[in-house]
Amino acid sequence: MQLALPNDVLLLIGEQLEQKADRWNLIFVSRHFHDLFLPLVYRNVSINNWQDANWFLHAILKRPALARAARELDLTDWHAKSVSDDDCNQIQTSTALSTWLDAVSCSTLESDHWAQRLGQGLSDAWVALILPLLSQLRKISLAYMTNSPYLDLIMQRAVDCEKPFSVQPFRHLQEVSLHHRGDLDHNEHLGDVGGDTQLSSTLLLPFFQLPSVRTITANSVVDPSSITPHSEGSTDGETPRLGFSSITDIDLRASSGNHGMETLVNSCADLKSFKYQHSDSHVLSHGYQPSAFHRSLTHSKKSLQTLWLDHYGSHYPFTAAGLNQSHDEWFGSLVDFTALKEVRVRLPNLLDIRYQNEPTTPLMECLPSSLETLYIEGCEERYLGMLVSQLQAVVKNRRTRFPQLKRVDIEGAFQNVSSDDDDQVADSGPEVLEAVIKDKIYQAAEPLHIDCVSAGLELHLHDRALSHI
């Protein structure tokens, strides 16, 4: 009996099934359902090891329509898996793989080396071989090794429209996530495959040149401005190429921007959101330098709407440059960032208080009138009174200066401990002092709370340690 429902309606029903297993079961109902729903199964692809990649690659080589059905590719849960001698031989003697390798490679030597890495089960080789087939991708989430030469190679060829790309590829790709995984370096035997050490920034740059991409998320990015050698005839003061990228959202985690990520930020023609979390764990890190980000973001001050700087970053006492003193310097005024709605920043970077108890520039003179939410991190208890006073001035002038302001958050080391400085002595008995924000923190913030209530604003106090309990 034929179903009365048209295919379009059946597909809409199938799209409502969130579980992949449920979608998979649909293709076994009948031949009609198999042909109808099989592309839906391939819409969101997750690949976790070389066996998944091998199976998927053979499937889309056999039926290219399935490759065109893929909209999202996720390899973030990739884990290294050993390849037996029999499996390796099967990979390297596969006619389908050999034919596709010849189509992708520019030489027999390259094809042979690529096949060797496939036979080792390395994620870099497998994902680089799969990507050129997925012309309709909207989102890519990749886990990558430090040494990913074939992924880097295939993306550069995509940008240059070289073999195997005859026209501009990835014309629908909008969202890219790159996740460096140190465990893959170890498990996939980085030392055995050789090659120069890569940095995630080298993988990022080609995506900035794809016209459809809007969002980039990555971790462990080392500022390409500090590692890219100057071209012949250039000078250290030469400004980078401006405004060629369509990317509007950048989110960099556990990264090191010695020069404010200038190459990446200045490439964006209409940057709307910039989030950066610093980490001094990278060998090339010279420490967090807020003023460098102020300089690089200057070109985006008319478009930037969201700014997170150093959200819960990590700072070492010493870096490759020596004593780490720059992380508490002032970012600079945000007044000229006329589209800015959301700011999340550390107190020493928001106000110039490095060598004094009061800021050289009042908070009112540091904030744009467009601001809606302000989240201040890293407030030491000794600065809380000063910050409350500065925020009170902002709230009292809200109607004339900050009409869009709706919420203020203050985060710091505010929790009670077993022996705090409230003239309280920790109970040595079985009772343990509850981990909560200290009463005197609330008392110090009460005048600001009263002003916020009167002005219709939200005020929230946070402690970093408590937020993870």
- What whole-number percentage of the chain has pLDDT above 90? 61
Indicate if the pLDDT at residue 88 is higher than 80: yes
Indicate if the pLDDT at residue 235 is higher than 70: no
pLDDT, tens only, 139-182: 999 988 878 889 999 999 999 999 999 888 999 999 999 998 87
Instruction: Write down the pLDDT at residue 432.
Output: 46
Higher pLDDT, 303 or 44: 303
Indicate if the pLDDT at residue 31 is higher than 60: yes
Instruction: Write down the pLDDT at residue 15.
Output: 62
Least confidently predicted of 37-51, 172-186, 386-400: 37-51
Give 279's strand partners.
314
Q: Closest Cα partner for 348 from 339, 360, 337, 340?
A: 360
Compute the distance between CA of residue 334 and CA of residue 445 in angstroms, rounded to an integer: 24
Residues composing the chain: 469
Compute the distance between CA of residue 313 and CA of residue 324 in angstroms, rounded to an integer: 14
Compute the distance between CA of residue 37 and CA of residue 25 in angstroms, rounded to an integer: 10
Higher pLDDT, 258 or 345: 345
Least confidently predicted of 49-53, 95-99, 279-283, 425-429: 425-429
Instruction: Write down the pLDDT at residue 22.
Output: 55
Indicate if the pLDDT at residue 229 is higher than 70: no
pLDDT, tens only, 102-118: 999 999 999 999 999 99
Instruction: Write down the pLDDT at residue 422.
Output: 47
Assign 317 to helix, strand or coil: coil
Least confidently predicted of 250-254, 334-338, 371-375, 432-436: 432-436
Compute the distance between CA of residue 420 and CA of residue 292 in angstroms, rounded to an integer: 38
Q: What is the mean pLDDT of residues 244-254?
A: 96
Instruction: Write down the pLDDT at residue 226.
Output: 57
Prediction pTM value: 0.85
Indicate if the pLDDT at residue 127 is higher than 60: yes
pLDDT, tens only, 284-306: 777 888 999 999 999 999 999 99
Quick check: 263 and 230 in contact, CB under 8 A?
no
Looking only at the bridges linking them, the beta strands covering 249-255 and 215-219 are parallel
